[in-house]
Structures are given as C-alpha cells and as structure tokens.
Amino acid sequence: MRIWQAIVAALLILSAGLGLLIMSGNARDLMAPGLQAELDVQDFPLPPDMGVDPTRVADFMAQELQQRLESDVAIRLMLNENLVDKVKNIVLPRLMSVVAVQAMMHEIPELSELLDLGTFRRTVSGTVSSRDEAADVALTVPGALLATVDGDRVTIARTSTGMRALELGDMAPGQSHYIVLWLDESATDADLGRSILLGAAAGERGRVLLWGERGWFGADVEALRWGGWVIGGVLAAVFVFGLASLILPFLNRRHARHTGPNMQATFRS
C-alpha cells in the first residue's frame, strides 16, 4: 500500500468519524471553551391587532372623564357651568391626548410590556454555562426587548457600540443560567448565528450553539429527519471503506508472509 493511499484513507476515517459524532450529537463537547451558550430560536407569532393602542386608550379615558364630569352632581355644584365646559372641552382633551397617555403608559412597567407585546417577533431561550470562573459575563442579542434570567425579569443593557446585551455578571465554576429573550422585528433580518456573541472580562470569548435558525447550509436536516440518516449512512460507509482500505493491505501482506514459507516447503517435499 502506498503512502498517499494510507494518508487519504486516514483522512477519510477521521472526517467520517467526526461527521458521525456531529450527527449523533456527541461532538458538542469537543474543543468546547469554558463559556458556552446553548440556545433555541423560535418565532413569536401574535394574533392580528394584538396589543394596546394608545389612541383608543386616550379616547376612552377622555370620554369617560367627560361623562363623569357631566353626571357628577358635586362637581357641577362646586364649579359654575362655564368652568365645567372649559374643563370638558379644553383641559381634558389636553391631559388625555395620545402623546400624554402613551408617555404615562410607558412609565408603568406592566403597561409598557403590553405596549411592546405587538413588536415581539422571535424568542431565544436556553442555558448559559461556565466550566471555569468567569467575570462580567454578557450575551449580545440584536433586537432584544425583554429578558428573564432563571425566571426573574432583568434589564436589557446597551453596549458602547449601541448593541443590546444581557448582562449575567460573575459566574462560578459549573454555574449555569436559564435565559429567555424576546426580540423585535430587526431580529428577523439579522443573522443570529453571527450576531449573538458570548463573552466575559479579560477578553474571554465563549461559544454560542444555536438551534432553529434558518438559511444556513444544512438547516433542512433539522426538519427532514430522514436526511440525517442518509448523511449518517454515507459517513458510515466512508468510515468502513477507509478503515478497510487501511486494514486489508496489512492483512494480505501478513497472509502472504505466512503462506510463502508453507508453499516453498510443499514444493521442496
């Protein structure tokens, strides 16, 4: 067997073996860094007209206050009719304008979340784990509006470059966090596989494993389960072929060494 044939067969065996490990899900820990995130991406569809319309809220509140102003006997007795008309026609429309109501709603956290509900387009959820001690761990996620860490609501931070980031703080060895993020419209156009980055202090870079993202070569294997078996079968065949191409020449040479002396002894006799 020639040297180049042995090299080609060895490369086929290594590449096929690595491919089989990847297809079986056992290559996740190969050369894995100390900091790693395993995340799932899902669409977040909403029913039509879902959310809170500040215009409808402002109109409803203005009309409701006007009706109460007209029907409240105590107010009408304390204020003259001219003043009541001014409050009804001038003061209330200005206080209950769309801009004023929207600003007030954004100042209330629960109502602010309802206003943002209509802008949610995707969710990213999963675990962030650290094998070693890490300081100032952060995950950059484009279009992140809302986030929870281990079930608790946290604030989305802004980096110096304007990127939205989830700050996880210091992590002890073996510690992990379960995170959920809700993303806006900009996340549908972004390549999340390249945009979501994980890092820590002192320039430590982590690895992000993402499931559910579309548009990359081989993404259909996740949806077409039989495709994985086809690819796995091809890799297994290449693995067996490469292994056989290495072993058979040695077996033939060994067989020839053993049969050679026996043949010579037979001819002498």
Show pLDDT as tens, one digit a residue, over the chain (269 residues): 577 777 877 888 888 888 877 777 777 777 778 899 999 999 887 776 666 777 777 778 777 777 777 777 777 677 777 777 777 777 777 777 777 777 777 777 777 777 777 788 899 999 999 999 999 999 999 989 889 999 998 989 988 788 899 999 999 999 999 999 999 888 887 888 888 999 998 889 999 988 887 777 777 777 667 777 888 888 888 888 888 877 877 777 776 776 655 555 554 55
Domain's final residue, options 161, 183, 205: 205
Rounded to 5°, the CA angle 111-113-114 comes to 65
Tens-place pLDDT, residues 110-136: 777 777 777 888 999 999 999 999 999
Token digits of residue 128: 């962030």
Considering its fold, how many domains does the chain have in total?
A: 3
Whether residue 225 is found in the same domain as residue 239: yes
Q: What whole-number distance in Å separates Cα of residue 253 and Cα of residue 123?
A: 61
Query: Which helix or strand (DSSP H or E) is residue 264 part of?
Result: helix 225-268
pLDDT of residue 267: 47
CA 49 to chain centre: 26
Residue 140 included in any domain: yes
Q: What's the whole-model pTM score? A: 0.66
265 within domain boundaries: yes
Instruction: Flag whether 233 is in a domain.
Output: yes
